[in-house]
């Protein structure tokens, strides 16, 4: 009798062991598939940049959890035209404070275009000299180091929104754009609607500032959905959309360091605004930011980055 019980016990343990082993193999295969898709996407996204910030004596160390900055460029790229960076957002991340400061720069901001030797709208820097000139110009405008860039093709941004399964935003203005109506309150957006939602500005009394607010909402919505557990089943579509539409000088290892060392900061995003006035110079509209306002922004961002 005991021999029979021991035999049944051994059989049960063997079956259980096989089931656990299969689960481990299955999960391991899934993780490997995710890892392979991610590394392929990152390889496609990676765009090296031979540039050193003039505002840092030494390169920032993500491994040592130092605060860093990223210039997010939203570019309308079409065939035969590399486009302009109509969206320019500076993100400064501090892991000690567990905070991210997000500053949208109005595209019509009048400033020196570093490397071109002219004074023009800040979004023209990309048309003149791609990511490097954009980073140098923003770095000079705010007098802070710009460590990395992330460039998003806005035409393909809808693919990213669709890949995460759509997003929900809290809309504060009733308006129509691109054949869609966006009522006040919570609105669920697919990729096409999200693109239309971010592009409206002429019917907004806040002008470009209202547009910037909607852009930030879209970015936060994508981050929120992309970080959710449900996105695990959509990883192939997400990585494919990122690989096709995003370019950055961040390496795979740096991205892993950010995920490991800075993840908690993503839950505390503070939106900053630039105060200035619109003015026409020689018949061209510019957004003029006073020196006092630039100093205020500089002080807040250098404190966030822990630089002098």
CATH value at residue 86: 3.40.630.190
Q: Which distant-in-sequence residues (6+ apart) come within 8 Å of 41 by Cβ?
A: 239, 240, 242, 243
Q: Is the pLDDT of residue 195 over 90?
A: no
> Is 50 a domain residue?
no
**How far is it, in rounded angstroms, from Cα 180 to Cα 242?**
25
**How far is it, in rounded angstroms, from Cα 47 to Cα 36?**
19
Which H/E stretch holds residue 189? strand 185-189
Contact between 143 and 114 under an 8 Å Cβ cutoff? The reply is no
> Is 197 a domain residue?
yes
CB atoms within 10 A of CB 72: 21
**Torsion angle, alpha carbons of 241, 246, 252, 256, to 10:** -80
For the segment 256-270, the average pLDDT, to the nearest whole number, is 83
pLDDT range class, residue 286, cuts 50, 70, 90: very high
> Is 187 a domain residue?
yes
> Is 60 a domain residue?
no
DSSP state of 152: E
For the chain, the domain total comes to: 1
**Torsion angle, alpha carbons of 301, 303, 304, 308, to 10:** 80
pLDDT range class, residue 268, cuts 50, 70, 90: confident
Q: Is the pLDDT of residue 302 over 90?
A: yes
Range of the domain at 124: 68-305
> Is 158 a domain residue?
yes
> Is 131 a domain residue?
yes
* Reported pTM: 0.79
Instruction: Express each pLDDT in 16-70 by its tens digit.
Output: 666 666 665 665 665 666 677 777 777 888 899 989 888 998 889 999 999 999 9
CB atoms within 10 A of CB 153: 19
> Is 238 a domain residue?
yes
Contact between 49 and 56 under an 8 Å Cβ cutoff? The reply is no
Report the pLDDT value the prediction gives residue 295, as an integer from 0 to 100. Answer: 97
Q: Please, what is the average pLDDT of the chain?
A: 83
Report the pLDDT value the prediction gives residue 17, as an integer from 0 to 100. Answer: 62
Q: Which distant-in-sequence residues (6+ apart) come within 8 Å of 194 by Cβ?
A: 157, 158, 161, 167, 218, 221
For the segment 163-191, the average pLDDT, to the nearest whole number, is 88
> Is 6 a domain residue?
no
Contact between 84 and 76 under an 8 Å Cβ cutoff? The reply is yes
Report the pLDDT value the prediction gives residue 20, as an integer from 0 to 100. Answer: 63
């Amino acid at each position: 009798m005991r021999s029979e019980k021991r035999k049944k016990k051994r059989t049960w343990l063997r079956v259980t062991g096989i089931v656990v082993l299969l689960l481990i193999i299955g999960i391991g295969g899934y993780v490997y598939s995710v890892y392979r898709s991610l590394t392929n996407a990152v390889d496609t996204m990676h765009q090296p940049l031979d540039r050193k910030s003039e505002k840092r004596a030494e390169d920032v160390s993500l491994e040592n959890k130092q605060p860093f900055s990223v210039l997010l460029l939203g570019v309308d790229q079409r065939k035969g035209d590399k486009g302009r960076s109509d969206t320019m957002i500076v993100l400064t991340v501090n892991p000690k404070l567990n905070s991210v400061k997000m500053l949208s720069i109005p595209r019509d901001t009048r400033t020196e275009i570093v490397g071109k030797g002219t004074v023009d709208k800040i979004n023209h820097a990309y048309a003149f000299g791609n990511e490097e000139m954009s980073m140098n110009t923003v770095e000079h405008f705010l007098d802070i180091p710009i460590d990395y860039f992330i460039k998003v093709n806005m035409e393909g941004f809808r693919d990213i929104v669709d890949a995460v399964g759509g997003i929900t935003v809290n809309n504060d203005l009733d308006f129509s754009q691109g054949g869609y109506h966006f009522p006040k309150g919570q609105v669920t957006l697919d990729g096409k609607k999200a693109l239309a939602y971010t592009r409206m500005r002429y019917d907004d009394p806040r002008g470009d500032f209202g547009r910037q607010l909607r852009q930030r909402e879209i970015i936060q919505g994508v981050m929120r959905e992309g970080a959710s557990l449900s996105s695990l089943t959509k990883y192939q579509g997400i990585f494919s959309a990122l690989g096709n539409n995003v370019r950055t000088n961040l390496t795979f290892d740096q991205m892993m360091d950010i995920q490991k060392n800075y993840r908690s900061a993503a839950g505390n995003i503070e939106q900053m605004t630039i105060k200035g006035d619109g003015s026409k110079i020689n018949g061209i509209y510019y957004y003029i930011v006073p020196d006092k306002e630039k100093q205020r922004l500089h002080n807040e961002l250098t404190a966030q980055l822990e630089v002098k």
